[in-house]
Structure 1
Amino acid sequence: MSGHDAVGRRVFVVGAGAAALFAGGAVSGAEAAVVDGPLPDFHPALKDGLTFPLAWGHSPIHDIRAWRRAARAKVEEHLLVPRPDGTPYAAELAEGPQGDGYGRELVTLSLTPYERVRGVLLTPHGTGPFPAVLLLHDHGAKFDIGKEKLVRPWYDDTRLASAQAWADKYFSGRFVGDELARRGYVVLCLDALGWADRGPLVYDQQQALASNFYNLGSSLAGLMAREDTRAAGFLAGLDRVDARRVAAVGFSMGAYRAWQTAALSDDIAAAVSVGWMTGLKEMMVPGNNTLRGQSAYYMLHPGLARHLDFPDVASIAAPRPMFFLNGGLDRLFPADGVRVAHAKLRAVWRSCHAEERLRLQTWPDLGHVFTAPMQDEVSDWLDSAL
C-alpha cells in the first residue's frame, strides 16, 4: 500500500470505531452508534475539548475592561448577522384603551432591514421620563402567543384565553408586563420570529427554519440577538424613558435573551434572568431538553463554545447590576450546572469589585416558573437597582 493509499484509508476510520481498530479490536455497531439523546458516541471527547479559553480567568487578557471588549467582539463575530444599526426604526404607534394606571399602545418598527415587527408598549400615567423594561418572552413550545405571554392582549380576543392560561401556568395568573407598568415602568415587549404575529411555527419546523438560515449564511439565534439589542436601543431612545434606567427582564428563553442583551448592548443598565443559566457541559447530558434540538437553535451560535461558556457571555455585562433566579426543582437546568455558572459569574463581578451588584438566588421548592412572590422580589430589586 502506498503512503497516499494509507492516508486515503485512514480518513474513513472515525469515532469509537477508530479506537477499537487501532487497539486491535473489532468494530461493532454499538461502538459506532449515536447514543443518549441523541449524542454522538464520542461526545465525551468533544466535551473535553471545550476549555473556554477566552473565559475570564483563562484568557490571557487580565484587564477586565479589555476582556469585556474582546469577549463581546468574539460573540459578535459568531452571530453571523450584520449589525443593523443604520436601519431607521420608523416606529408607528397605535393607541389602545387605558390600563389600570398606564397607557397602552401597539408599536410596529424595523429592528433589521428585513421586516417590520409588531409589539406592545405600556407607559405609566404621570410625568416622565420613567425607568423602562425590555420584557422578553419565553419559548415554551407555544407559538400562537409571544408578547401576549407577558402583556394582556387587549387588541385580540382570540389570543386572550391562551395568554391567560399561560399566565396561570407560569406566572401565578399575572401578566408580568402589566404589573411592571402599574409599578411605574415603561414596558416594551415584541414578538421573536416564529411567535404570534411572526408565526406561528409548528414545533417540528424549528430545525428546518434554523438550517435555512445557515444555508443562507445567517443564523436564527443571531437574528434574535440582533433584534433584542436593537429593541433595547429603541426603548432607551424614547423621550418618555430615562435612558440611564433601562433593564432587560425575561423568563426561560426570555431569561437567556435578557442576559445576552445586557452583554451585547450598552443601553441596558441592569438585567433579570429567571430560569435560564447553566454551564454548557453540565447541560449537555442525557435527558436534557437541549439535546432534542428544535428550541436550542434559538440560542445556538455555531462555534462560540470553542471560546466562551454561557456564564462567560453573561459576564460581559459586568459590573452592571444583574439578578439571576432559578428554581431548585427545575429539570431543564440541573443544580450542578447552575452551581458552575454561578461560580463563574461571581468571579467576574468580584474582579470588578462589584459583588454587591450581582444577585444569585435559588428557590429550592420551585420548578420552571416565575411566580408572584418571585415577581414581587424582582420588582423590588429593579426599584433599587435602577
Structure 2
Amino acid sequence: MGGYEDWPDFVRDASPLTGDELTTRVAALLGVPEPPQRPAVRTVGEWRADGVHGSELEWSTGFGPPTRAWLLRPADGPLGPGLLGLHCHAGVKSIGAERMVDTPRPSTRALRVRADLYEDRAVANELARAGFVVLCHDTFAWGSRRFGFDPLPRGLRDLMAAYEAAWLAADHSPDDHEWYDVAAVHHEHTIAKAAGILGTSFAGMVAYDDLVALSVLRGVDEVDDVGVFGFSGGGARAAALTALDPGIRASAVVCMMTTFEALVPAYVDAHSWLFTTPGLARELDHPTLTAGRGRHHQLVVYAEDDELFPSRGMVAADRELTELFLDGPGSYTGTFLPGPHRFDREMQDLVKNFFAERLLPA
C-alpha cells in the first residue's frame, strides 16, 4: 500500500455518497465515499501552443499522493462548456491522463500509448481547440496517484523475479515505466481485495477521484455545462460518473459497451476491476447504468471488431440503450465503426462533433 497508508482510515471515517435515488443506489453498489468540498488547487505550470492554453494542476483528494491534472482552454476566444476527460486503463498505470494531453515535455510512455490507441492525437488538445475547457486528471492508482513498490509487496516478489529472469534471458532491459506497468497490473488484484475489505471497491475509489476532479472543473471560471468522455476503461468511468452525478449534461463512451451477461465466461479475463465490481451486475446491467436517469445526451461508439467485447453483447446493449432513451428527455446515439479496440481520429471527431452539437451555443 505504498503511499496509501492513510487510505484505510479515510474510508473508515468517510460518509457514503448519497443523493437522488440513482446516485445513492450506484454509490452503495460501488462503495463510493462522499467527496469533500472542492479541494484547494495549485497551478504548477502553464504553457501556450497550437491554439491551446494549458495549465498543470495539483490537488489533494484527502488521502494518498496528490493528484496531477491538466486543464486545457482555447488560447483565444470565449471559454465553452467543460469536459472531463477520463483516461483509459490499457495496462499502463505508470502514467495517467498524460496519454490524452500534448504537454510541453511528454513522456515516452505517453507517446507510445497515444500512438497505439489514439492514432497519435492528443484528444484533449483537439477538444480545447474546438472551444471546450478540458480537464484530464490522474485517477486513483494511476500516474501521480499510483501505488509505490518500494519495498515490493510480498505477492509481487516471486512474480517480478520471474519476469526479470525472462527479460534477462531475452536480453531485454525494461525501462522504469515498463517494469512498473507489469507489476501494477498484477497489484490491482491486491488493491481490489483491500478495497473489498474496507467496504468499497476499486471502481468506487476511482469514481471518488473522478467526482473530486469534476468539482475542480466546475470551479473553473465561466464553466457551466459539463460533459464527460472516456475510452475503454475511461468509458466505464464515464458511465459510472454520469450515473453518480445528475448534473452531467452529455457523456461519450468509446469502445466500452456491452451487456454484462455477454462477458461470461469468455471475455471476463479481458477486463480489469474497473469493470467487474462484485454484485453490480445483479442490480444494474451496463446499458442501464449508462442510461441512468435518461435525462442526459449519450454517445456510444462501438468497434465492430473489438477484441474485448462479443458482438452480441454490443448489439444487445445498443438495442437496450435505444429503448431506455426512447421517451426522452435525453438522447442516445450509437455508432458502429469497423475495426479493433481503439480511439482513433475518426472516433475522436465523432466525440467532438457530438459535444459541439449538444453543449456549444448555436
- TM category, shorter: 0.7 to 0.9
Query: Which residue does the alignment assign to 1:221?
Result: 203
Q: Letter of the 2:243 partner, please give it.
A: A
Give the C-alpha shift of residue 207 in structure 1. 0.3
Give the conservation status (yes or no) of the 8 Å contact 2:111–2:120: yes
1:88 & 1:383 partners in 2: Cα distance? 27
Query: Which residue does the alignment assign to 1:74?
Result: 25
Q: Letter of the 1:167 partner, please give it.
A: R
SS of residue paired to 2:274:
helix
Give the conservation status (yes or no) of the 8 Å contact 1:232–1:265: no
Q: 1:233 aligns with which of 215, 218, 232?
A: 215
Give the conservation status (yes or no) of the 8 Å contact 1:128–1:240: no
Change (3 A) 1:189 1:353: closer
What is the CA deviation profile of residues 222-247 of structure 1, one whole-angstrom value per residue up to 9, with x for unaligned ones?
11112212322221221142x12x11
Q: In the alignment, does 2:332 pair up with 1:358?
A: yes
Which structure has the greater CA radius of gyration? 1
Give the C-alpha shift of residue 116 in structure 1. 2.5
Q: 2:125 aligns with which of 178, 188, 192?
A: 178
Q: In the alignment, does 2:220 pair up with 1:268?
A: no
Give the C-alpha shift of residue 212 in structure 1. 1.4
Q: 1:89 aligns with which of 15, 24, 39?
A: 39
Q: In the alignment, does 2:209 pair up with 1:207?
A: no
Compute the RMSD of aligned alpha carbons: 2.0
SS of residue paired to 1:331:
coil
SS of residue paired to 2:189:
helix
Query: Which residue does the alignment assign to 2:10?
Result: none
Query: Which residue does the alignment assign to 2:228?
Result: 248
Please show how residues 1-386 of structure 1 align to structure 2 within 5 Å: 69-84=20-35, 86-112=36-62, 115-154=65-104, 156-157=105-106, 159=107, 161-199=108-146, 202=183, 203-241=185-223, 243-244=224-225, 246-286=226-266, 288=267, 290-291=268-269, 296-352=272-328, 354=330, 357-363=331-337, 365-386=338-359
What is the CA deviation profile of residues 147-190 of structure 1, one whole-angstrom value per residue up to 9, with x for unaligned ones?
11101232x45x1x222221111112111111111111111111
Give the conservation status (yes or no) of the 8 Å contact 2:79–2:133: no
Mean CA deviation greater in 194-203 or 260-269: 194-203
SS of residue paired to 2:326:
helix
1:83 & 1:299 partners in 2: Cα distance? 21
TM-score normalised by the chain length of structure 2: 0.79
What is the CA deviation profile of residues 24-68 of structure 1, one whole-angstrom value per residue up to 9, with x for unaligned ones?
xxxxxxxxxxxxxxxxxxxxxxxxxxxxxxxxxxxxxxxxxxxx9
2:96 & 2:65 partners in 1: Cα distance? 17
What is the CA deviation profile of residues 336-372 of structure 1, one whole-angstrom value per residue up to 9, with x for unaligned ones?
0011211221111113355xx2100110x21101111
Query: Which residue does the alignment assign to 1:38?
Result: none
TM-score normalised by the chain length of structure 1: 0.74
What is the CA deviation profile of residues 237-267 of structure 1, one whole-angstrom value per residue up to 9, with x for unaligned ones?
21142x12x1101110011111221111133
2:335 & 2:272 partners in 1: Cα distance? 24
Query: Which residue does the alignment assign to 1:14?
Result: none
Q: Letter of the 2:294 partner, please give it.
A: A
Mean CA deviation greater in 124-133 or 367-376: 124-133
Q: Letter of the 2:352 partner, please give it.
A: S
Q: Letter of the 1:146 partner, please give it.
A: G
1:88 & 1:325 partners in 2: Cα distance? 32
Give the C-alpha shift of residue 71 in structure 1. 3.6
1:197 & 1:142 partners in 2: Cα distance? 13
How many percent identity over aligned positions? Answer: 28
Mean CA deviation greater in 300-309 or 248-257: 300-309
Give the C-alpha shift of residue 69 in structure 1. 4.5
Give the C-alpha shift of residue 335 in structure 1. 1.0
Change (3 A) 1:143 1:113: closer
Q: Letter of the 1:173 partner, please give it.
A: D
Change (3 A) 1:342 1:250: same
Give the conservation status (yes or no) of the 8 Å contact 1:106–1:121: yes
Query: Which residue does the alignment assign to 1:8?
Result: none
Give the conservation status (yes or no) of the 8 Å contact 1:88–1:110: no
SS of residue paired to 2:291:
helix
Which 4+ runs in 1 deviate beyond 4 A? 112-115
Give the conservation status (yes or no) of the 8 Å contact 2:38–2:212: no
